[in-house]
């Protein structure tokens, strides 16, 4: 029973932890894709002068569902003594909802308030808090473009009105992103009549790299394109590496449980020396003796693995509710929103992970029975019964 529980706990822990890591990866991916387009197309100089022409070419590609132009640039925000660097993105309020969910994340103001010439700006929640501003307040934007004057060059300044606040749920965006109308942003960054590029929504977000390569082959040579995996390659590569390392580390728990099967069978072989010798004198072959102990070890591993898979699946499917219940009982939040990207504990159960874990645990259990069974088969009846 101890050996079975050891295998079951190891398998259940591994399934639960990998499901939680899958949940975090899925949640982060959805939040990132809520602000980042599946792919984007720009010109060789980083701008598109005739973006309507490019839009016609791109929309003719069957795997592109929607497009929307955008302007993007770096700037400084100033309010009194507070200064903060930010990334300003100019969008068309009518087209942007086709490629992102920013319009659904507004918690103050209205997304459609970004009209041409209004020079309104929508800030991320953490950015608005850091600058100490809210809807209706004025804020100064300082761009890297300079204006020549008789007294020398001075930075380009523009006084804007905060027309809203959004909250994505990721500090990276909520603390460093601001949204403007696309025409106002183009004038601010001195590219009137141009855009930085076109944001694309594809029919399959997970095939974005391949679709982007196919799209580039159909476009003229002056166009450049990149997909969302390229923009966040290091981030998702780190998540994948972390998941692999966690799998290896937690599989050691299962290995320890399998080693427990070895110790259990070795002790049983020692305890049953006389019984093994009697069976040998009655004519049982070494292979038959070995089979007895292998069957016992396999049954222990099989039952432990099945119990672990059942327990792990149940726990993975209900881990969010269990953690919420524990937090309510203890009055303590394990993942405070002001510290972590995600304040809850999401879980995404992948059945292929469950299959791999179950098969690996069972194989380790089978391997752990080989040495004790072989040792039992080597018992010599005469020596075992000499003092009995």
Distances (CA, A) of 331 to 139, 207, 315, 326: 39, 43, 22, 8
Q: Where are the domains of the chain?
A: 1-28+235-385, 45-221
pLDDT of residue 139: 92
How far is 67 from 40, CA to CA, in rounded Å?
9
Question: 285 in the Ramachandran plot: left (φ > 0), alpha (ψ -120 to 50) or beta?
Answer: beta
User: Within 10 A of 252 (CB to CB), how many other CB atoms are there?
Assistant: 11
Task: Confirm if 167 and 105 have CB atoms less than 8 A apart.
Answer: yes
How far is 138 from 120, CA to CA, in rounded Å?
9
Task: Confirm if 26 and 350 have CB atoms less than 8 A apart.
Answer: no
The angle formed by the CA atoms of residues 48, 49 and 51, to the nearest 5 degrees, is 65
Task: Confirm if 123 and 131 have CB atoms less than 8 A apart.
Answer: yes
pLDDT of residue 121: 92
pLDDT of residue 123: 92
Task: Confirm if 122 and 166 have CB atoms less than 8 A apart.
Answer: yes
Question: Along the 388 residues of the chain, how does pLDDT read in single tens digits?
Answer: 877 888 888 888 888 888 888 888 777 777 777 677 788 888 888 888 888 888 888 887 888 888 889 999 899 998 888 898 899 999 988 888 888 888 888 888 888 888 888 889 999 888 999 899 988 899 999 888 766 666 556 667 888 999 999 988 777 788 888 999 999 898 888 888 889 989 888 888 778 888 888 888 888 888 888 888 776 667 677 777 877 887 787 777 777 777 777 777 777 777 776 777 777 778 778 788 888 888 888 888 888 889 989 998 998 888 878 877 887 788 776 666 555 556 567 788 888 888 888 888 888 888 888 878 887 777 777 665 665 5
* Residue-wise DSSP of 273-334: HHHHHHHHHTT--HHHHHHHHHHHHHHHHHHHHHHHHHHHHHHHHHHHHHHHHHHHHHT--S
Residue with tokens 């396999």: 298
Query: Checking DSSP bridges between strand 120-124 and strand 152-166, what pairing results, if any?
Result: parallel
């Amino acid at each position: 029973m101890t050996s079975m529980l050891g295998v079951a706990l190891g398998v259940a822990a591994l399934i639960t932890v990998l499901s939680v890591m899958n949940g975090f990866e899925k949640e982060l991916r959805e939040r990132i894709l809520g602000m980042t387009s599946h792919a984007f197309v720009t010109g060789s100089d980083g701008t598109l002068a005739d973006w309507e022409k490019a839009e016609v070419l791109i929309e003719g590609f069957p795997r592109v569902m929607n497009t929307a132009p955008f302007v993007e640039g770096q700037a400084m925000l100033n309010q009194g003594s507070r200064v903060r660097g930010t990334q300003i993105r100019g969008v068309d309020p009518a087209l942007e909802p086709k490629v992102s969910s920013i319009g659904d994340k507004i918690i103050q103001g209205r997304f459609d308030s970004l009209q041409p010439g209004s020079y309104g700006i929508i800030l991320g929640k953490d950015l608005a808090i850091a600058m100490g501003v809210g809807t209706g307040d004025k804020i100064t934007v300082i761009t890297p473009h300079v204006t020549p004057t008789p007294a020398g060059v001075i930075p380009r300044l523009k006084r804007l009105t905060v027309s809203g606040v959004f909250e994505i749920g990721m500090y990276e965006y909520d603390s460093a992103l601001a949204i403007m109308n696309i025409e106002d942003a183009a004038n601010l960054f001195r590219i009137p009549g141009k855009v930085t590029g076109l944001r694309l929504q594809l029919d399959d977000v997970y095939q974005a790299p391949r679709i982007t390569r196919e799209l580039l082959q159909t476009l003229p040579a002056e166009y450049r394109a990149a997909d969302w995996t390229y923009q966040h390659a290091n981030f998702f590569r780190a998540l994948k590496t972390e998941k692999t390392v966690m799998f290896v580390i937690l599989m050691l728990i299962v290995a320890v449980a399998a080693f427990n099967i070895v110790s259990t069978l070795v002790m049983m072989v020692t305890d049953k020396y006389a019984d093994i010798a009697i069976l040998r004198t009655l004519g049982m072959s070494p292979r038959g003796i070995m089979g007895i102990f292998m069957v016992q070890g396999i049954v222990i591993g099989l039952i432990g693995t099945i119990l672990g898979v059942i327990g792990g699946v149940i726990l993975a499917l209900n881990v969010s509710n269990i953690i919420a219940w524990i937090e309510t009982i203890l009055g303590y939040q394990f993942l405070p929103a002001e510290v972590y990207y995600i304040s809850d504990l999401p879980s995404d159960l992948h059945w292929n992970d469950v299959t791999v874990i179950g098969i690996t645990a069972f194989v380790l259990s089978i391997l752990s029975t080989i040495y004790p069974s072989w040792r039992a088969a080597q018992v010599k009846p005469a020596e075992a019964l000499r003092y009995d």
